[in-house]
Amino acid sequence: MKELDEEIRIFGSLFMNRLDKELLQYAINYVDYDERGLAFETICDHLSEYNVPITLEEYEIAIKLCKTLQMDINDISIKHLKTLIVS
List pLDDT tens digits, range 30-75.
Answer: 999 999 999 999 999 999 999 999 999 999 999 999 999 999 989 8
With residue 20 as reference, give the H or E element that holds it.
none
Q: What pLDDT is attached to residue 87? A: 76
Q: What pLDDT is attached to residue 77? A: 83
Q: What pLDDT is attached to residue 68? A: 96
Q: What pLDDT is attached to residue 75? A: 86
